[in-house]
Structure 1
Amino acid sequence: MSHPEDFAYPPARYHGTTGEVNATFRPADTPPDISSPGATTHYLATHASTGGEFGLYKVELGARSPGARTHFHRAMSESFYILSGELELYNGERWVTGRTGDFLHVPVGGLHAFRNVTDEPTSMLMLFSPGAPREEYFERVAEMAQRGGEELERFRVRHDSYFLEDLEPGQG
């Protein structure tokens, strides 16, 4: 049997004695922060609001949404939790079908991708840890994808997103 003294918690970061009133509440009916023809994104907890601890986003993908091609991150993990519908998830080895309640955690450096191949919308939570300023990425990725080329590659690298299609042999 384990006892509390056997657990290794991170060092304390709050050193007060009475606690603070500092919680943030976001009502469910808050409009999305980004809307496009194929998706909406809700900024539930950003790098700024969590002090860099994590970023949590609710993403709703329309039917037949291409999602993101195979990539990895060097500085953060990414996790997916399916709220509704189905989502194809690439776990670095093969495509798996994620359904309501399914979860995929991708450690730092792990190859992954996602897409909605169904005729129905899907909704998921995306968690990045530690938190990174992902908002600019979400807000500008469609524009940058249209520009393409080296400008798109630089944008992706600036946002810790290394897409296999951008890497030359030996760069990964």
Structure 2
Amino acid sequence: MSHPEFLEYPEPRYHGDKGEVSAAFRPASTPPDISSPSGSFTHYLATAESTGGEFGLYKMELPGHSAGAKTHFHKGISESFYILSGELELYNGEKWVKGREGDFLYVPVGALHAFKNATDELMSMLLLFSPGAPREEYFERVAEMSKRGGEELKDFRIRHDSYFVEDFEPEGE
């Protein structure tokens, strides 16, 4: 494979000469940060705060027949899905596709997407948001806010850069 002589990397942000001790290790045995009564779990692997806003990485485990998220898009962040185990239905803006272990879906800023676990089995996936955003409050409160519904739910979603198609459909459709 041929490689160009000059590669463009981002401008340096670290200006030291010797490196530093600052890596963060999270053992697999760390309990989930969020557990819901429905049996879903969310692990905060790397938050926007811990990465200096570079990205957010979360592991989610969804039990069978989990609704996931209806069709929506983000204006400021991209979202990526990597299936670790099980099966996840993913909407790519045109059609639903079945994601299985090892499958990956990249959702650019502004792209419509949705997901759900339509099987009887538990599934797990990695979610990557870039750049990093404070998604933790969204994950922690979305179930509560969904029960409230209406304008309060819509405002909550927008505050978290989540524009759900259903929030902008004319009444009666």
TM-score range, shorter chain: over 0.9
* Cα offset, 1:2, TM superposition: 2.2
Q: Residue 37 in 1 paired to residue 37 in 2?
A: yes
- Structure-2 separation of matches of 1:133 and 1:108: 16
1:95 paired residue number:
96
- 1:129 and 1:122 map into 2 onto residues whose CA distance is 23
Q: Aligned-pair distance for 1:4?
A: 4.3
Q: TM-score when scaled to structure 1?
A: 0.96
Corresponding residue number in structure 1 for 2:135: 134
CA distance in 2, matches of 1:4, 1:67: 45
CA distance in 2, matches of 1:4, 1:110: 34
1:20 aligns with 2:20: yes
State the partner residue of 1:113. 114
What's the counterpart of residue 11 of structure 1?
11
CA offset at residue 12 of structure 1? 0.6
Q: Give the distance between the partners of 1:20 and 1:52, measured in 2 at CA.
A: 19
Point out where structure 1 has 5 or more consecutive residues left out of the alignment: none
Given residue 56 of structure 1, which amino acid in structure 2 is its aligned partner?
L
Give the TM-score of the pair, scaled to structure 2.
0.95
- What SS does the aligned partner of 2:151 have? helix
Counterpart of 2:126 in structure 1 is 125
Which residue number corresponds to residue 160 of structure 2? 159
| Partner Cα separation in structure 2 for residue 40 and residue 77 of structure 1 | 22
Aligned-partner SS, 1:67: strand
1:69 aligns with 2:70: yes
Percent identity, aligned pairs only, is 73
Cα pair distance change 1:4/1:23, threshold 3 Å:
farther
Secondary structure, aligned partner of 1:59 = strand
Partner SS for 2:75: coil
Hey, which bits of structure 1, 4+ residues long, moved more than 3 A? Answer: none
| Amino acid across the alignment from 1:134 | R
Q: Which amino acid aligns with 1:32?
A: P
Q: What is the identity, as a one-letter code, of the residue corresponding to 1:70?
A: T
User: Using the alignment, how far apart are the partners of 1:92 and 1:35 within structure 2?
Assistant: 29
- For 2:146, the equivalent position in structure 1 comes to 145
Q: Deviations over 1:3-52 (max 9, x none)?
A: 342x1111110000000100000000000000002310000000100000
